[in-house]
Amino acid sequence: MSFDKAGRDLLEIDGRMFAAKESIDSLHQEIAEFFYPERANFTQEITYGQEFASHLTDFYPVLVRRELGNAIGTMVRPADREWFKAATSNPDVARRRGPSMFLEFMTTVNRSILYSNDSNYRKAASQNEHDFATFGMGWTQVSYNKARDNLMFRTHHGKDCAGSEGPDGRVDHVHRKCDMTAHAMAYWFGESELPQPVKNALKKKDTTSKFKLRHIFIPVDKYDPYRKFPKGAKWADVYVTEGGKILQEQPAFTFDYIVPRWQTVSGAFYAVSPATIIALPQARMIQRMMMSIIEAAEKTLDPPVIAMEDVVTSPIDLSSRGVTYIDSEYDERLGPAIRTVDFGKNPGLGVDALTDARGLLADAFYINKLQPMASLQGRDITAYQASQVVAEYIRNALPLFEPIEDEWTGRTLDLVTEKVMRAGGYGPVDANGVPVDMPEELLGQNLVYEFNNSLKEARDRQTINAYHESGELIAKAMQLDPTMVVEVDARQSFRDAFQSVPGGHADWLVDAEQAAQSRAQAQAAQAQQSMMQQVGQGAEVAGQVGNAAQQLQAAEVV
């Protein structure tokens, strides 16, 4: 297959995929106009520098969207703590010191990459989270930089992206519109491969004109590559011009797009935000209500007037100390020549209704349910009461946390781990791509990530509360039967509770085997010391007996 034919085939697929999402773009356009006006260019262009939110009379819908988007970042990526750590799904392995130390090393490497100055992770993550809150999905690309010594994160506009999922239900195919300047194309693809119009723009030093491209990540079984890809490559990473010329075609071993989807219905690829999809009618109504309140207030404070046409002889001047002349022969017993119109408006009623509507909008955006256990602050309550508050918070937060942790932060860290491991970021790798320094206990284990956020804090509180409650229960049981303590593995329950302490580290808790050895040594030393004490006491008694015998003999001689 020639490059040109491969490019044309890709563009045919591209056209079908973008045509299938036109109705989604229309829906997202309306949602953005009410909740995310700076993103409202799905079906129309925005000229930045102009007032693109002039159609809004009330900013509260935009405010609650902003609050939810910011809350997602605060919840899943809290700035006041190390919010993730590498782990394994096998708890026995995770408790051992060697694997725990290597997993902490992986965590440190990943964190240094995410928060390096040139990765752009924080900006891309914030953009994706606001798209997720508004449209129910976002599009973030993770790729190596030009020097392949770091990763780059870029979040793209939903209007420019189309995708599909594989048999496993995961996103595995993405087409993206990516307009580039001639200089950017020369930087990424080399000048020799560029079409002639692009070369001409380079010669003219044209830095403003952009050329239309497509970036396509497609499974190899859907793509007939021009050259045979190496074993293990699962995707083709292709850049093609709108004329069908392929500028880049290379194998990909990882799927470099992260597309978190909040809520989907059966058979549909594109997701929706459960917040905006139910709040959209309310947002429309709030705009109309605010306009009515403004009109009512204006008519109440500055009402319209009615004047006798043949009586008023000068322009009506309603300003302070203004004068309006009327015919001197007019008899005011017939009624005032000028009078205001009273419509009986009460703007306060509209304000009350608007306040109620705003409250419902806040509920739709989870604003009132995501205060992380605020009711526990400064309160003297029992462990049981605290556990109930924590359980309620978990129930409220799970609908938001679960898709975010699975579809967004979890996928991000999994992809970073794959790309860093392939690049040798965790140390030299063997023929299978596994770091040679990885402990044997971790080989073949399922690596996962644990998150240290408000939901994790709530779950840890449950564990710690359970430890305290079980301690109280054991103490009461021992009052009836002191041997009841043997019914509980106190050491294991303590270790589990200790690992749940916020801010703890793996090296604070030694391996259970090492702890058992240390405990046996301490017990042996204690037993030896006790024996020595007994021997010393015996010697002392023997000395006392000897002294008594000598004294007795002396007495008999006397």
Sign (positive/negative) of CA torsion 359, 364, 370, 376? positive
């093609």: which residue's tokens?
Answer: 240
What's the token pair of residue 384? 């049981």
Give me the mean pLDDT over the 433-446 stretch.
86
Q: How many CA atoms lie within 13 A of 408 on its CB side?
A: 31
Listed residue (385, 392, 302) closest to 347, CA to CA: 302
For 72-102, the pLDDT digits (tens) are 888 888 877 788 889 888 878 877 888 888 9
Query: Which of the 8 DSSP states describes residue 85?
Result: E
Give me the mean pLDDT over the 63-67 stretch.
94
pLDDT of residue 162: 97
Asked if residues 253 and 422 have their Cβ atoms less than 8 Å apart, the reply is: yes
Alpha-carbon span 27 to 421, nearest angstrom: 40
pLDDT of residue 381: 62
For 241-253, the pLDDT digits (tens) are 988 899 999 999 9
For 266-281, the pLDDT digits (tens) are 889 999 999 999 999 9
DSSP-based three-state secondary structure for 318:
coil
Confidence band, pLDDT 50/70/90 cuts, at residue 538: low
Query: Is 70 exceeded by the pLDDT of residue 386?
Result: no
Sign (positive/negative) of CA torsion 420, 423, 425, 427? positive
Domain boundaries, the chain: 1-23+139-259, 510-558
Query: Is 80 exceeded by the pLDDT of residue 503?
Result: no
Asked if residues 452 and 82 have their Cβ atoms less than 8 Å apart, the reply is: yes
Does this model's pTM top 0.85? no
SS3 content of the chain, % helix, strand, coil (to 5): 55, 15, 30
DSSP-based three-state secondary structure for 238:
strand
Angle at 167 between CA 161 and CA 169, to 5 degrees: 60
pLDDT of residue 236: 93
Lowest pLDDT segment from 249-258, 413-422, 455-464: 455-464
Lowest pLDDT segment from 103-112, 154-163, 184-193, 220-229: 220-229
Confidence band, pLDDT 50/70/90 cuts, at residue 482: confident
Listed residue (335, 341, 314, 334) closest to 325, CA to CA: 314
pLDDT of residue 514: 65
Beta bridge partners of 161: 176
pLDDT of residue 1: 42
Confidence band, pLDDT 50/70/90 cuts, at residue 420: very high
